[in-house]
A and B are shown apart, each in its own frame.
Chain A
């Protein structure tokens, strides 16, 4: 049985008066949600029909003034890592729709209301990720397309020294552009192969941010070996060209849980 991590926030005490929701899963027996150790809160599930939301009770003031501090050891870091650990543990048990980080509900009645209202949509979304994992491809080209002449200084004296320097810079720029186009084509080919093997992929093509690119694929277990084999070959080619590239998975389907649930207290 998979052990779920202990909750770092709050405890199941009378003063804790809010529900922190981690994810939506198939309704399972409580035996799958083992009791935490001393000092840790107990993860609970609230089931409505075949669906269940996994949550714990916390004091909402514990999430007050949470700064955007990405240093290891910060409160935000602890919250994010804990949220990810619980969702991963749930994904190891069965299909899970991760709920967005920091989602709080006032009580179990609100959660029951929500699950009931979104029953059909949640069920469909859960079936979509059943027996699937998210695989993430990242490519960083900054090392491969670095300007090798950027630090070069023009010769101090001599006729045509400046012109020669500018010519070298221009040639270097052309070399970089050509290399970038070649690498883009390799990345696009790898992406297309992976997307074809996947059940779904995020967006259209690789999403670039500066010299890095990223895309997530929803991969069924039956296609896992094929995806790994294709990625291994493509990544080896990209790395031999000087790129940093990696495929990582299977991860919980964060990118494929695009569900909006709406409920009102007086509904």
Chain B
């Protein structure tokens, strides 16, 4: 039985603590393994062999690039769920800042109106 995943060390994996793995880690484990069904009873829709080859080439390219210090995709929301989460967090913080700025500006405007009203009442003496 496999209740709870333990991870010791990093091994170049995405996370030190047990948690969601990168897609490359899952692919590495799942592809090309398991019970194979052969014979004309099977329905072969996915050309798994070809798919596996293509994916291994993609992963090998990514690993080689990472070894060379090229990892731009890790910060690209299109390729990385981590980056997507960060972008969503940044967006939420932007909204919050805008909301707070709105709240700060509102009393200022109210204060200006309050200050302007008496001036107008006494004939606009505040104007130069």
Known contacts A138-B12, A246-B8, A248-B7: A98-B78 contact under CB 8 Å: no
Contact B10 A244 (CB under 8 A): yes
Interface string of A235-267 (1 = CB under 8 A from B): 110110000111111111011011111111101
Interface bin, chain A: 35 or more
- Checking B35, B60, B80 against A100 with a beta-carbon cut-off of 8 angstroms, the contacting residue is B35
- Report the minimum CB–CB distance from A236 to chain B (whole Å): 8
Interface bin, chain B: 35 or more
Cα A251 to Cα B5 in complex, Å, equals 7
Known contacts A247-B7, A252-B2: A101-B30 contact under CB 8 Å: yes
Cα A170 to Cα B55 in complex, Å, equals 37
Closest to B7 in A: A248
Can you list 28 contacts pairing A with B, beta carbon distance less than 8 Å? A70-B55, A70-B58, A70-B59, A71-B23, A72-B79, A73-B81, A77-B23, A83-B30, A84-B30, A97-B34, A97-B35, A98-B33, A113-B41, A114-B41, A137-B11, A210-B63, A231-B9, A235-B8, A244-B10, A244-B11, A246-B8, A246-B11, A247-B6, A247-B7, A249-B2, A251-B5, A257-B34, A262-B38
- Residues on B facing A (Cβ under 8 Å): 1-3, 5-13, 18, 23-24, 26-46, 48, 51, 54-55, 58-60, 62-64, 67, 78-81, 84
- Residues on A facing B (Cβ under 8 Å): 18, 21, 23-24, 60, 63-64, 66, 68, 70-73, 76-77, 80-81, 83-84, 88, 91-94, 97-106, 110, 113-114, 122, 125, 131, 133, 136-140, 142, 209-212, 214, 221, 228, 231-232, 235-236, 238-239, 244-252, 254-255, 257-265, 267
